[in-house]
Amino acid sequence: MNSFNLTRINRLSPYRVELGDNELVFKTDYDILYSVWFEEQPVPGIEAKAYWLNLTNYSQKSSPGDVKIRQTVTCILEEFFRTNPDVLLYMCDSANDQQAMRSRLFLRWFNAYGRQAEYYTCTEMVKDGDEESHIALIVKRSHPLLQEIIEMFDEEIAMFRANKPQ
Amino acid sequence: MQIYLYSLRLIEILHYLCSVKAAIKRAKSRKLAFELFRAEADSNEVQTLNNEIMEATTTTFTAMQWARHEQFVEMLRAVKQRKRERQAQIEMRLKEEAEYIRKERARLDAIYKDLDDELI
């Protein structure tokens, strides 16, 4: 993974982003520590490089209405796509059974980001046994394998919904 | 002559009323027919949607696609597992930090207590 330019992130980020142990960390006005890290993970059926985005609230306290968090994460994501024009997947944190809410929030973040023309985003709920997971796909529309990636993702979602023949 | 004219006028009015009644009846039947048409169209739409859903859920995938899907599911499980492990690590670290703060506070309280005792 190509390394990020922290100066470029901090030029626009409302919270100061610092480099941690293989992660980017920032502290909010409410003293809440957030961590953002990317994990490379080959996705079956995709030739392109893919990463999982992980966003963790270390303090485990809520900070309702803090738009600066969204703006900071957005700055980090912009830097990710600037230096790594790859596929980004995101699975919402399942803490407190708030996955669906987090999925909606994440989509709202990206919509508020106002870059739909530049990025293809899609969030879906999949069921593995009794366990529900909300996953999101983000990929730059300029990605040379965009169509293949979307088709693969849609196919996987369709297979989650279909019953596998025994 | 006057009576004859009045009768003609009355017949005219009656004829007009009859035509109005017929028009209302026609409009009602047209409305009913339109509603029936809409209902039929809606039911066709519902049927089409049902067919699409059925088609989507009964799409057949090849064994190769299912094999790849298995890999995808395994990958999701692994990602979830790593998230859980990291979450557990965070919780452990927070607990340790809380315990450290509690111990430090107790230690400082003891020091201040000793100082207070000495001063008294």
pLDDT digits (tens, 9 = 90+) for B2-32: 788 888 888 888 888 878 787 777 777 677 6
Distance CA B54, CA B68 (A): 23
Distance CA B46, CA A15 (A): 50
Residue ranges of the alpha helices (H) in chain A? 6-12, 67-83, 99-113, 146-161
- Per the CB < 8 A criterion, the answer to whether A114 and A98 are in contact is no
Contact criterion met (CB < 8 Å) for A44 and B83: no
Percent share of chain B, pLDDT over 70: 73
3-state secondary structure of A162: coil
Contact criterion met (CB < 8 Å) for A60 and B90: yes
User: Which chain A residues are Cβ-neighbours of B79 within 8 angstroms?
Assistant: 39, 41, 52, 91
Beta bridge partners of A52: A39, A89
Contact criterion met (CB < 8 Å) for A159 and B58: no
In the predicted model, is pLDDT for residue A93 greater than 70? no
Burial classification of residue B117, based on how many CB atoms lie within 10 Å of its CB (0-12 exposed, 13-18 middle, 19 or more buried): exposed
3-state secondary structure of A2: coil
Mean pLDDT within B92-97? 86
Confidence band (pLDDT; 50, 70, 90) for B119? confident
pLDDT score, position B86: 83
Mean pLDDT of chain B: 79
A27: number of Cβ within 10 Å: 15
Contact criterion met (CB < 8 Å) for B76 and A161: no
b/e burial code for range A80-110 (CB count within 10 A of at least 16 → b) = bbeebebbbbbbbbbbeeebeebbeebeebb
Residue type, A52: W
- Per the CB < 8 A criterion, the answer to whether B24 and B32 are in contact is no
When mean pLDDT is compared across A50-54, A148-152, B48-52, the lowest value belongs to B48-52
Distance CA B12, CA B18 (A): 10
And the tokens for B30? Answer: 């047209």
Distance CA A37, CA B42 (A): 49
Q: Does A93 touch chain B (CB under 8 A)?
A: yes
Residues 6 or more apart whose Cβ sits within 8 Å of residue A84: A1, A2, A38, A49, A51
Confidence band (pLDDT; 50, 70, 90) for A96? low
Q: Model-level pTM?
A: 0.67
